[in-house]
Amino acid sequence: MTNIEKYNNAFVNSLEITEDRLAGLKYQDIEAWDSVGHMTLVAAIEDAFDIMLDTDDIIDFNSYEKGKEILSKEEYGVAF
């Protein structure tokens, strides 16, 4: 699986939405992405890439695009 596939899968599985709705998706845009959903999502992403996100990055992760930006940082090294 490519990194983008892993990343999208984490969203699709934890927030129960279809892939075509991911672009532009923001925290609290849909009911499932509330604080509970956010925790599920973060756990799924950490599992998929075998990383541990910093507190600051977890609370900064407020959109589909922002998440990619965070994962691309040096300490996580996920290239899309």
Partner 1 sequence: MEKIWNLDKFADKVALKDDKGQSVTYRCLIEVTDKIAEKIEKRCLVFLLCRNEIGSVIGYTAFIQHKIVPLLLNSNLEEKLLQNLLDTYYPKYLWIPEDMQESFQGMDVVYSAYGYSLLRTGYGKDYPLYDELGLLLTTSGSTGSPKFVRQSYENIFDNASSIVKYLKLDETEKPITTLPMNYTYGLSIINSHLLVGATILVTEKTLMQKEFWNFFKDEGATSFGGVPYTYEMLDKLRFYRMNLPSLRTMTQAGGKILPELHEKFAKYAAENGKKFVVMYGQCEATARMGYLPPEKAVEKKGSMGIVIPGGQFRLIDTQGNIITEPYTTGELVYEGKNVTLGYAERGEDLILGDERNGVLETGDMAQFDDDGYYYIVGRKKRFLKIYGNRVNLDEIDRMIKGEFEIDEASAGVDDHMYIFVTDAGISETVRNFVIGKTKLNPAAFKVIEIEEIPKNDSGKTLYKELEKYYEK
Contacts with partner 1 by CB under 8 A lie at 14, 16, 27, 31-32, 34-40, 42-43, 54-56, 58-60, 62
Q: Which is nearer to partner 1, 20 or 31 (CB)?
A: 31
Tell me the C-alpha to C-alpha distance, in Å, between residue 66 and each of 44, 76: 16, 14
Q: Which is nearer to partner 1, 17 or 68 (CB)?
A: 17
53 contacts 72 by C-beta, under 8 angstroms: no
5 contacts 78 by C-beta, under 8 angstroms: no
Q: Which is nearer to partner 1, 15 or 79 (CB)?
A: 15
Q: How far is the CB of 2 from partner 1 (least distance, A)?
A: 26
